[in-house]
Amino acid sequence: MEASADGSRGRWALRFLCLKRSLLSPPSASPLRWLIGAPRVLPPFTVAAALRPLHGDGAAPDLPREADEIRGLLPRGFDILGALLVGGEGSDADAVRALELARSLRERLLGAAASHGMVGGCMDAAFGEIRFVASESGGTDAVEGVEVVWEDEPGRLLWEKGCLLRCELPLKLPLYVPAYEISGIEERFSALLESTVAKLRDPHVSYLVEGPIASNESRHSIILYGDDFSFDSHIPGNSRTKECTTSSVSCSEFFPEKRYNLSLTRENADAIEITVLSNQSVGSLKPGTTPVVEYFPAPAPASLRVINLKLDILCYSPIDFPVPVAVSELVIPGLADQMSVMKKIIAPEITQQAQLCPYHFIPPGLHIPVTTIYDTRYGEIEEKQSELRKELHIRLGLPLDRPLLRISNALTFGGMGKRVKSTSRNGSSLLRDVHREIPSSGVSGGIMSLIDGSYEYYHYLHDGIDDNGWGCAYRSLQTIFSWYRLQQYSSIDVPSHREIQQVLVEIGDKDPSFIGSREWIGAIELSFVLDKLLGVSCKIINVRSGDELPEKCRELARHFETQGTPVMIGGGVLAYTLLGVDYNEASGDCAFLILDPHYTGTDDLKKIVNGGWCGWKKSVDSKGRSFFLKDKFYNLLLPQRPNMV
């Protein structure tokens, strides 16, 4: 085996686009990881993502159930590349066992043995070292691999070589059920879906293919006809090819501008849109003939059930793939897969009319899109929906204390990665994540701990409210509130000054005269509002003097690493929002990343950064000036992250 590995050096390299910690990190009851690749697009033995088994016992997964669920989760174009056992002895036998499991899963998933190379491996849980074996395309012999590579820019490899195709297809399927034949409903439903899938390849079905909207508001589009999908339609000299050049159009022609790294545009993705069109009159009548209506009476009393299906699939295609091939080999099978998944959900309770809706996500830490199907009869907080999301978090290796797969997290599809600007309720624009333009803190050897997620910058005079001199804590609260909205913990609008005051009156903290006043509020009042409106608990740190704030850097760093929420610094005479700390534990040197709500200018990012309205502040600067006052107390409000998915 070693001789073969040496002779194949350079060929048996296993490349990971996912992070090493994503393979090791909990939660997971199984040591097994399914390795996901895209053999049509990516180099051999390139792992784009890893999924955890949910069904079975440890390293003995329930392959039929795994195949059923992964079929609905992965877009067509992504495939089972192998399997990895985390922990254990790390022997060749373990690696070969993982390879055999991956082969079996892949065969159940797609109904045939893999025609691409596959891998099986073991990963040392303590040091993260991987030992693996690989088999060539269509081969059964396993050869020991020699190199593991962790890709620095996974998004570039994925989205320079490949692209997304999306197809939405609403269906209303008539299911006729004999009045006295209850037991055969599922069989009739299955037959109905099979006939529907078959019709997707009929000559009278056409496909409108449209690219993303470019910056000039134009989009490239073509129509594919039924015989464009014939294997011989791509042979030079074929009559259809002479009449229509669509068979030679590649996916790249739908992206005239630079494609964005999809892993960095989670709110908005670019995809080639496929629309299914049906013309029943094509080929059904001879010239000069008249349509005839035929009547077929039912042999027995029957009832009609209309099954509503809302199909919405993604496919991952090589950027240079001919569009007809992509539609035929990816889109149509993808639609069939989603119908199969929906059938398994609907069939057991077909009389209940489930309202199934697919959604697409690219959660943090994952570089490929995944699709989930939710029954929209259940609300977001319904226990059944929550349990489904929890299972998906476990399968994808996502944390269990934050919502990443809610409907509000789903991808939207627009023009070339354009983002919709955030706006407040009165329509004014809001700057987001202004600290990302800030230079380094200047702390030598420090460890930087920052906010985890996005926020909006609220400051004096925003929304036309003149709160100059009294509203800094209100603005800090609004910024904190926006963080919870943008992380999908809540869909409640960011409250206005008056609404904040009304909450404090309702809970009995303030007298009615407080509403409409210009009275200051502090950390305690902010905690009351967050608890009342969001159910968020807060920790408060009291500091007697500004000189003592650096002593709290270790505790603040721990907050940003575990909770990741913005912190409000109040008390004294001013209120600020704290977005992070840079702390050298050995020397005690530290800096605070301050977002200052006292800014009164326009939302000009350059002006805000250059003016120091968002920047690193040391307790005492190089000229001996103190940022925090020595003779004033401070309260630090540390909002906690809700433990929910």
Residues acting as catalytic residues: 472, 596, 598
Question: What letter does residue 508 receive in the DSSP assignment?
Answer: T
What are the start-end ranges of the H helices in 282-398? 323-326, 332-346, 383-396
What is the C-alpha separation between 414 and 103, in angstroms, rounded?
37
End-to-end CA distance of the chain: 46
Place of tokens 């639609």: 335
Identify the CA nearest to 388 among candidates 101, 31, 69, 18.
69
Q: Hey, is 132 helix, strand or coil?
A: strand
Q: What is the DSSP letter of 321?
A: S
Q: How far apart are CA 265 and CA 576, in angstroms?
A: 30
Give the pair of three-digit tokens for residue 42.
Answer: 């990516």
Integer Cα distance of 565 and 559 in angstroms:
8
**Is residue 523 a contact partner of residue 635, using CB atoms and an 8 Å limit?**
yes
Residue 480: closest CA among 519, 435, 536, 437: 536
At CA 460, angle to CA 459 and CA 461, rounded to 5? Answer: 115
CA distances from 210 to 165, 230, 271 (A): 10, 21, 9
Amino acid at 12: W
Q: Can you read off the two tokens belonging to residue 170?
A: 């609403």
Backbone angles phi, psi at 122, to 5 degrees: -130, 145
Kindly report each contact of residues 90-96 with a partner whose C-beta sits within 8 Å and lies 24 or more positions away, as own/partner: 90/122, 90/123, 90/124, 90/131, 91/122, 92/1, 92/131, 92/133, 92/144, 94/122, 95/120, 95/121, 95/122, 95/131, 95/132, 95/133, 95/142, 96/120, 96/133, 96/142
118 touches 102 (CB < 8 A): yes
Q: List all residues 6 or more positions away from 571 whose beta carbon is below 8 Å from its beta carbon.
A: 522, 523, 543, 632, 633, 634, 635
d(CA 144, CA 371) in angstroms, rounded, equals 34
How are the residues of the chain apportioned to helix, strand and coil, as percentages rounded to the nearest 5?
Answer: 30, 25, 45
Closest C-alpha to 472, from 336, 575, 323, 554: 575
Closest C-alpha among 358, 390, 345 to residue 74: 358
Taking the C-alpha atoms of residue 383 and residue 393, their distance in angstroms, rounded to an integer, is 15
Complete DSSP assignment for 139-188: ----EE--EEEE-S-HHHHHHHHEEEEEEEEEEEEEEEEETT--TTHHHH
